[in-house]
C-alpha cells in the first residue's frame, strides 16, 4: 500500500512541524509563553517556531477572551492562513466566552472559525496545552491527505 | 499656612454661593455638589485657573436607576502646588444628558469624556473628538446604563460585527443591581 505509506509519511512530517500562530488575547497568552519557555519547552513536540505572520503558520492558538471588536481580526487572520490549518481554542473564554456572559465578548470561538481542539482551564496550564498539542498531532496523523483533493471542514458558524 | 481641602471647598462655595448645593466629607475627602450642570465649566475654570488644581485625576459617571437626577458626573481633582484633592459632582438632566467639556482646562478629560459618552451616553459640548472609545462606532446602545442588560442585545454593524445576547441572560447566576444585602443581590442561584 504505497499510497497510505506516503500519506503516513506526509502526516508524520506535518505533525512534528506544526508552526503555531500565537493569538494571545488575554491571560492565557501568559501560559502560552510559559509553554514556549524552557521549563515546559514546546519545542520537544516540534512546535517552537512561533510565527507572528499568519501566512507562515499552521495552527492558530487562540489564547484568551475574544471581544467582538477583536473577533473580526481573528477571523481575518484565520482566513489569511494557508491550508492545511488547525485551530486550538485555549481556555474557557475562547471555548465558550467563559465567565464573560457579557455584551462585549464573543460567546465561543466556534461562532466564527472551525475549531479543532478545545482546551479547558482558566487559564489553561502549559501541561494541558502540551497535552492538547499531542492530541492535535494524533488528529493530524488521521488526515486523508492524498485521498481527498479538497478538504472542506464542516463548519456552520456565522460569516463575519 | 497650608491650605486644606476644606478651605478650597469653602472657597468654591463663596465664589458660587447659588449653585453649590451641598458639601460632604467622608474620611477627610471633600465633595462639592454643583446643582446647575450648565455652569460646571465656570466652576471648573475657577478651580483650575484660580485655585490651582492642575490635574484631573479621574472623571467618571454614575447611573442611579431610580434617583431623580439619574446620572451624575464626578471630577476627581488634585493640585500639585497644594497637595490637595477635592471632588466635584453634578447631576445631568436625564432626558437629554449633556455637559460642557472641560478638555480646554485639563487634557486628561479628553478620553474620560469619550468613555463616559460611550458607556453612558452623556454628550459633551465643545469636545474636540467626541466618538466612542471602547465600543465600535455604530454600536447602538450605551452599555453601562442600568437599563441595558449585561448579556447584551442582538446588533449588526456595518463593520461586520454581529453580536448576540449571551446565554443565561437573567439567571441563574446573575446579580440584581440596586438591591441591598448580599444574599439578595448575589444569590447562589435563582433556581433555588
On the question of pLDDT at B173 being above 70, the answer is: no
B91: nearest Cα among B56, B61, B53: B61
d(CA B6, CA B90): 18
Exposure of B35 in the CB half-sphere (CA atoms within 13 A): 9
Task: Record the cell numbers describing residue A70, joined without a space.
Answer: 477583536
A14, A116, A139, B55, B144 from A86: Cα distances, Å: 12, 6, 10, 50, 37
DSSP string, A122-144: TTPPHHHHHHHHHHHHHHHHT--
| pLDDT of amino acid B107 | 92
On the question of pLDDT at B136 being above 50, the answer is: yes
Encode pLDDT of B26-46 as tens digits: 888 999 999 888 889 999 999
Q: What is the DSSP letter of B68?
A: S
| pLDDT of amino acid B95 | 81
Query: Cβ distance B73 to B99 under 8 Å?
Result: yes
| pLDDT of amino acid A149 | 55
Can you tell me the mean pLDDT for B118-138?
91
Phi–psi pair at B159, nearest 5 degrees = -80, 0
A106: nearest Cα among A94, A88, A92, A116: A94
Cis peptide before B42 (omega within 30 of 0): no
Q: Contacts of residue A68 in chain B, CB cutoff 8 Å?
A: 136, 161, 163
Pairing type for strands B84-92 and B162-163 reads unpaired
On the question of pLDDT at B78 being above 80, the answer is: yes
d(CA B128, CA A156): 44
| pLDDT of amino acid A117 | 92
Local structure of B15: helix, strand or coil: helix
Contact between chains at B135 and A72 (C-beta distance less than 8 A): no
d(CA A8, CA B151): 47
d(CA B148, CA B140): 11
Contact between chains at B160 and A68 (C-beta distance less than 8 A): no
**Which percentage of chain B shows pLDDT scores above 90?**
38
Q: Which residue in A has a C-alpha nearest to residue B153's C-alpha? A: A103
Q: Contacts of residue A97 in chain B, CB cutoff 8 Å?
A: 166
**For the ranges A88-102, A137-151, B8-22, B116-130, which has the lowest average pLDDT?**
A137-151
Would you list which residues of chain A are within 8 Å, Cβ to Cβ, of chain B?
A: 68-69, 71-72, 97, 100-105, 107, 158, 160
| pLDDT of amino acid B192 | 45
Cis peptide before A123 (omega within 30 of 0): yes
Q: What is the DSSP letter of B171?
A: -
Per the DSSP assignment, residues forming a β-bridge with B20 are B34
Per-residue pLDDT of chain A (160 residues; tens, 9 = 90+): 556 678 888 889 988 999 999 998 999 999 999 999 999 999 999 888 888 999 999 999 999 999 999 998 999 999 999 988 899 999 999 998 888 888 899 998 988 999 999 999 889 999 999 999 999 999 888 887 777 655 555 565 555 5
DSSP string, B94-122: SSS-EEE--TTT-TTHHHHHHHHHHHH--
| pLDDT of amino acid A148 | 62
d(CA B14, CA B7): 11
| pLDDT of amino acid A2 | 55
Would you list which residues of chain B are within 8 Å, Cβ to Cβ, of chain A?
A: 134-136, 141, 143, 148-153, 159-164, 166-169
Burial of A97 (0-12, 13-18, 19+ CB in 10 A): buried
Q: Contacts of residue B141 in chain A, CB cutoff 8 Å?
A: 103
Which residue carries 503558520 as its cell? Answer: A57
| pLDDT of amino acid A159 | 55
Exposure of B79 in the CB half-sphere (CA atoms within 13 A): 20
d(CA B151, CA A100): 9
Amino acid at each position: 500500500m504505497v499510497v497510505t505509506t506516503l500519506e503516513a509519511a506526509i502526516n508524520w512530517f506535518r505533525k512534528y512541524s506544526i508552526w503555531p500562530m500565537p493569538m494571545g488575547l488575554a491571560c492565557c497568552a501568559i501560559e502560552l509563553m510559559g509553554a514556549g519557555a524552557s521549563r515546559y519547552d514546546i519545542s520537544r513536540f516540534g512546535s517552537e517556531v512561533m510565527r507572528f505572520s499568519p501566512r507562515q503558520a499552521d495552527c492558530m492558538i487562540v489564547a484568551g477572551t475574544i471581544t467582538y471588536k477583536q473577533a473580526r481580526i481573528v477571523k481575518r487572520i484565520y482566513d489569511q492562513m494557508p491550508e492545511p490549518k488547525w485551530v486550538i481554542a485555549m481556555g474557557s473564554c475562547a471555548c465558550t466566552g467563559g465567565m464573560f456572559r457579557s455584551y462585549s465578548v464573543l460567546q465561543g470561538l466556534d461562532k466564527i472559525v472551525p475549531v479543532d481542539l478545545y482546551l479547558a482551564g482558566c487559564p489553561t496550564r502549559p501541561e494541558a496545552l502540551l497535552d492538547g498539542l499531542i492530541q492535535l498531532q494524533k488528529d493530524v496523523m488521521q488526515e486523508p491527505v492524498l485521498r481527498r483533493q479538497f478538504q472542506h471542514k464542516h463548519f456552520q458558524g456565522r460569516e463575519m | 499656612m497650608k491650605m486644606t481641602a476644606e478651605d478650597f471647598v469653602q472657597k468654591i462655595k463663596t465664589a458660587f454661593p447659588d449653585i453649590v448645593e451641598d458639601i460632604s466629607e467622608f474620611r477627610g475627602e471633600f465633595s462639592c455638589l454643583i446643582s446647575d450642570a450648565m455652569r460646571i465649566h465656570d466652576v471648573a475654570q475657577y478651580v483650575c485657573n484660580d485655585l490651582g488644581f492642575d490635574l484631573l485625576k479621574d472623571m467618571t459617571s454614575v447611573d442611579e436607576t431610580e434617583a431623580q437626577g439619574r446620572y451624575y458626573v464626578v471630577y476627581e481633582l488634585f493640585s500639585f502646588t497644594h497637595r490637595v484633592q477635592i471632588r466635584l459632582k453634578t447631576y445631568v438632566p436625564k432626558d437629554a444628558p449633556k455637559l460642557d467639556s472641560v478638555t480646554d482646562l485639563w487634557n486628561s478629560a479628553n478620553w474620560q469624556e469619550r468613555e463616559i459618552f460611550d458607556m453612558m451616553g452623556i454628550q459633551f459640548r465643545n469636545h474636540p473628538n467626541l466618538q466612542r472609545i471602547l465600543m465600535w462606532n455604530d454600536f447602538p446602545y450605551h452599555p453601562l446604563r442600568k437599563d441595558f442588560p449585561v448579556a447584551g442585545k442582538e446588533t449588526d454593524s456595518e463593520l461586520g460585527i454581529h453580536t448576540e445576547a449571551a446565554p443565561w441572560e437573567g439567571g441563574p447566576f446573575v446579580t440584581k443591581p440596586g438591591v441591598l444585602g448580599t444574599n439578595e443581590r448575589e444569590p447562589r442561584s435563582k433556581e433555588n
